[in-house]
Structure 1
Amino acid sequence: MTVDLEYLNGFGNEHHSEAVEGALPWGQNSPQRAPYGLYAEQHSATAFTEPREINTRSWTYRIMPSSAHRPFQRTGDRGWVSAPSSEAVVTPNRLRWDPQPAPAAGVDFVDGMTTYAVNGDVHGRTGIAIHLYAISVSMTDRYFVDADGELLFVPQSGALLLRTEFGRIAIAPGEIAVVGRGVRFRVELLGDTATGYVCENYGAAYRLPELGPIGANGLAHARDFLYPTAWYEDRSGKVELVQKFGGHLWATELDHSPLDVVAWHGTHGAYKYDLARFNAMTTAGWDHPDPSIFTVLTSPSSITGQANVDFCVFPDRWVVGEHTFRPPHFHRNVMTEFMGLIRGRHDSKAEGFVPGGASLHNQWGAHGPDRETFDLASSTELSPVKLENTTSFMFETRLALAVTESALGASHRQGDYDSSWSGLERRFIPPSN
């Protein structure tokens, strides 16, 4: 199935779009009424008085106001877990998972989510949750909204169509999408099934990282982020709206579609990005560059340089450093690293880390190449080489991640992950007298 969609370019700029010509008002020509009798509604994603450079809001012009609903009632949380969680465990042990099992029949986005790890406090708007989804059916009479955080989608298999209040976004493996906090949407399959990763960001909204000495042209460029054109659903009839709020799922019944925005303008909503547009930086001298050089988006914290979460991608790229150990070296880090693999293989693992899998190295968790990779990297001629057919990514966060019972007890968790380093030998050749 193909979907012909249009998008607006640019990250963080003032955008505007209308599905019906004249639906977006300009100036004060009609100060008492929005065009076509629509309701005017503002979405404020930041406090009114936050600094201009981070202040985001959007105006929507819709068929029904969002306030037209019955009370929400608690519903089962399914596989969703939020921080803080009494059942999640903060462990120093290194963890790795095989791809999750294929989804059962009739599982949509809300029911097909499994939380692997959380940190921070959803009530204090700090930290993240990392989920994996496996879905086999589209949402039709159900819609979802996350009031706890924005959602960053990383598809691994199968394409999705995200129908949001601000328009439609189609994403496939190799692309990402971000749905802003409080934005209502539903998820449709563009194939039989789909699996992937979601980072639920409780903290400051994602933004482009500062470039510093890298200069103007490195990493991700603002022009390559795409925002949807306005699209609306004028639909009557009973539908369910599921809201994540305060760490739990709530539901209410509507008599209309919540995706009824005919026009909008502003800086808050939803957007997508093609990871192939990322301009990877690397070293032409020696030593392996820190993974921060691969940051696509960052959610800053109150401590400069310690992100609430960074989203990093490791795409096809040239490796040309000399007099150095080529793969990622043995490492311990004050930051926590959760990695996933979209396609191919990771350059520091010979086997075991496969597309659809995941790994977690909590703060100060020692990790690095396995024995086979170490031996190969120690003896291979250091000529320029291009890493191809590979895309891995990382959620790097300043706090330790607590692992859920579902993830710890999963049948596809590799119980022998520590054996990746069991073949390493003592290495010390003292000088002879």
Structure 2
Amino acid sequence: MGLTTRSVALLCCTTALFLLPSAAAAGGGSEEWGYVQVRPKAHMFWWLYRSPQRVNNGSTPWPTVLWLQGGPGASGVGYGNFMEIGPLDTDLKPRAFTWLSKADLLFVDNPVGTGFSYVEGGNRTLLARTDAEAARDLTTLLCRLYSRTDTRLQLQGSPLYIVAESYGGKFAVTTALAALNAIHAGRLAANLAGVALGNSWISPEDSVLSWGPLLYQVSRLDENGLNLCDRLAQQIKAQVMATQFLEAENTWQGLETVVLQEANSVDFYNFLKDDSSSDAALTSATMQRQMRSLASLGRRTRRRYSSYLSSKVTMEGGFEGLMNTVIKNKLRIIPKNVTWREQSDDVFDALAGDFMKPRIEEVDELLKLGVNVTIYSGQLDLICATKGTLDWVQKLKWDGLKNFTSSPRVPLYCNGGKADGTQAFLKSYKNLKFYWILGAGHMVSN
């Protein structure tokens, strides 16, 4: 389930509409990386690529994209970089389509404890416990990188776009608001040009409510399976409304297991496929035992994201092997006692209290402040299904919502134009854009 030429080309097309520059000139690219101590004993790793096609003509400065991965606890420096939008693929060969054609790329292992980011002594009490704490750490990093005394990075004047995937969407909206506060206070010398939310976990309640009906409509569930899923989804809704977020996460873990059982191990990232991970290959008896052990379920659920990563690399040791040998040796600054992992269970556990909290109000606030917000959704995603995303959008209190809803939806074509068929739809009004990306899954990659 790797990146396909079609889906990456399509995402590059939509990115071209999201970012301002459209012309490119030949030039030399470069890269920088390092650590920022965002709090005492808490160190965040970043990696910046400057585009070889960089243009700065004054009127439309060359933009910078801050990419935030999901999980929470999955590595943007690893996954987003080498498997999605960076200059090299997992064979360390040039990628045919990279967002570097439109922007400089800043990858961050966020929150601390993810990927190459770390806390000293492995002290779990230093991990971020809320989305807001993670946002403060990210904003601290941005303040340091955009510091006017650090001209080496040349970020000043570059419009900043925060682009996120999955749970990273919650980090994106909270970080955008924290960054705006820092900008207004004079601590961050940046221009926040926009936020993009890709298949984002903005409203867990709306996502899970969409699972049963969607799987029923595409024949992965029968009526019995639909009723089982809907009953648990309604329970999650009630728990979220009662602010019982830990209980809602437990029920969510149980719902995922019921979906796997009733839909015969459907792939949560592409409902047209089966989950090929060993975690999905569970007998009915095993599932029933795990239903009685939600702590075990939580660990299994978290590994699904990382199994998606490791399945892409054939070298011995998989993707973790690549990151902990070739990449770690290249970077040279990673402490010896820091081992890169595809998914940090410690980070996931630390954010348990916030995992099921919605961030719709934060999106609303960004829209009201005039920030450009772009939402894109892969047609075949289940975990953050398009239906659920559309449902939470309708909960916005933004005064442009009615006009947005009634706006026409425009078909989009890439490469061969209409000859290749419709590949996406776009609806927009003022500072809100919504892309339906056809034939794509959760990572807009399958």
TM norm. shorter chain > 0.5: no
The higher-RCO structure (CA 8 Å, 6+ apart) is: 1
Name the larger-Rg structure. 1
- Hey, which of these two has a bigger chunk of helix by percent? 2
Q: TM-score range by the shorter chain?
A: under 0.3
**What is the TM-score with the length of structure 1 in the denominator?**
0.24
**What is the TM-score with the length of structure 2 in the denominator?**
0.23
